[in-house]
Chain A
Amino acid sequence: MATPLQRDVFIDTIFEAAQSDRDVLFLSADLGAKALDRFRAELPDQFIHPGICEQNMIDVAAGLARSGKKVITYAMASFITARCYEQIKCALAAMNQPVTVVSVGVGLGYDNAGPTHYTTEDLACLRALPGVEVWSPGDAEATQELARLCLDRPALRYVRLERPALEPLYHGTFSTVRDTGLAEIAHGDRVCILSSGYLLHRALDVRDLLRPEGIDLGVIDLFRLKPLDTKQLANTLRHYKKIITLEEQCLDGGFGSAVLEALNDSQLHRPLLRLGLPNRFFFENGGRSHVLEKCGLNPATIALSIREFIAGQQLAQPTQTGNTLITNPARAAATPDAH
């Protein structure tokens, strides 16, 4: 059986609960899913298409939640975050409304779509809002457990789902780590890497690449970035001498920043290498893998960066700011401001 998509797993779990609980409502701003087809057909009164109106969807969700409804809002990642950020801030966060905000296709998930559809700043944006939980499940099992949490313990939760299916990681164990927000899925020696979602799987590939060289890379799934259990994180990281973070976000204020802040607050001082995207927009064709490779985030280059980091050398990590990585001459000619 093919690995299920995170969105189908999430929606099916909500659907099962919604069948016996009329207060469960699902709002989708024009993003479908196979599982959503069934939801719409069988529970039409509990499915609402608010139009491609993310702002109003969030405001309506606040009114519904304040009336006692269990509300799931759902849309493409880019549009359910930046487009309606102010609604999430005012109507949900400032009023402490237990609404689930599900975004699909985080990071560079919408292959080839470019800056309008990439979501390379949502971690920095959403974690800045008081009272918002931020979750990035790494496989179908974690996604299902998270959906259950959203039903059993409603809270303002930002749930980041990947577009492609992610291979199983937890094999029945996620429920034991869910509430800690992180899991050391591979124990290592001296050096470890933290990531989540799509790139977490790449981190595991890097571990395999480095092992024959005698580098035993620990891999930690930090699937709940907020609230971040700093004590648990510090305890997990304490026996490592060097730490790497890996994210599909512009580095400013994102995943690695959150880890650095937590370590600083815990007075756990370790050299930390943040791997991620430079602070620019990504116009180039070639798909997710191509952009990641260009930014030094393919497994071989990540492995190289880690070797250099371990050796204490200067890093090869791209640090460009602005749209300076435009390599197609025709595009460069059309956008003189980019230089």
Chain B
Amino acid sequence: MIMPRDPSKDGTSLNSQGTPTPHTEGLAKLQDRSAWLRRTLFDMVMRSRKGHIPSSFSCAETLLTLFYGGVLRYAHGAPNHPHRDRLIVSKGHAAMALYPILADIGYVPEEELENFTRKESLLRMYADPGIPGIDSITGSLGHGLGVAAGYALASRQDGRDQRAFAVLGDSECYEGSVWESALFGAHHGLDNLVTIVDRNGLAIMGQTEELLALDSLEEKFRAFGWHALSVDGHSYTALQSAFGQLGNTDGKPLAIIAQTVKGKGISFMENRSEWHNRMPDDEQEARARQDLQTNCITN
């Protein structure tokens, strides 16, 4: 399913410094995006029998807000634009959630969505910079924030106004390297560095608070010197408001703890850790498709 192309966005506008300006759509359109992205991802997974549906669905609104909600600076059809913002979906099993968006903005051919994970095709289950628009290899947890910090530091050293975004899983925050990167970002005052933690509360084997409590990630990032806040990660208005604090963080990097539901949009997958990488059978597929007819995002 391809989102109908909006001709107005072809030929991205640039500001006077040559920085691409973000693309902003209204709430109704964004809500349509939510339905479109979930259905497209579901189709990709059902066709290939590969991929991670629940993890992708929990960060869907985060990614859609970045690309269509007026946050990320990128140029349509120009994945290597020198002044683009950088984005790393560090929870690499959900990097596939980017692919329909990358096709929509002209980075990768749309037919590649149908080829997802097919032999010798472009789009892999996990992402790497061989795919246009991907700024880091992901799949092993705990790398993305550090690489993003490197991007942010280089941008500042070069006097460029580029930001670096890293979408982390909450369970990814078990990796100690995340906290090394958190120290680094705060020490260097990288206020052009943003992390969004997809706080869906689940690891593969159960709830994070039962496995090994992560407790308040907002307080942890704040204690590490970040400007941190928690928001409803399925609310465009809440996410846009949170991203709106970029540039107003008193010189601190920004941590947005997005409270989300793993599997959001497919009732029987929601909050169920066993669905991490399980494939629906025929009956479950029909139920899922029925669920996906209804838009689960209301604000």
Contact = CB atoms under 8 A, between A and B. Distances in A.
B129 interface: yes
A58 to B, nearest CB: 8
Which of B86, B128, B153, B155 counts the most A-chain CB atoms under 10 A from its CB? B153
Contacts of A154: none
Nearest to B148: A63
Given A63-B150, A87-B143, A91-B136, A56 B129 contact: no
Interface stretch (B36-44, B180-188, B269-277): B180-188
Interface string B147-179: 111111111011000001000000000001100
B140 A67 contact: no
Contacts of B187: 51
Contacts of A48: 153
B142 interface: yes
A339 to B, nearest CB: 35
A90 B143 contact: yes
A63 B148 CA distance: 6
B146 interface: yes
Given A56-B146, A94-B128, A67 B176 contact: no
A59 B150 contact: yes
B146 A95 contact: no
A307 interface: no
A63 B184 contact: no
Nearest to A45: B157
Nearest to A63: B150
Contacts, number: 96
Contacts of B128: 94-95
B184 to A, nearest CB: 6
A59 B143 CA distance: 6
Given A53-B180, A55-B176, A60-B153, A94 B137 contact: yes
B135 interface: yes
B154 A69 contact: yes
A90 B184 contact: no
A65 B129 CA distance: 13
Contact of B184 (A56, A68, A87): A56
B148 A50 contact: no
Contacts of B149: 56, 59-60, 63
A67 B151 CA distance: 6
Given A55-B180, A60-B147, A90-B137, A67 B155 contact: yes
Nearest to A89: B140
Contacts of A87: 143, 146, 177
Nearest to A54: B180
A86 interface: yes
A22 interface: yes
Interface of B: 86, 128-129, 135-137, 139-140, 142-143, 145-155, 157-158, 164, 176-177, 180-181, 183-184, 187
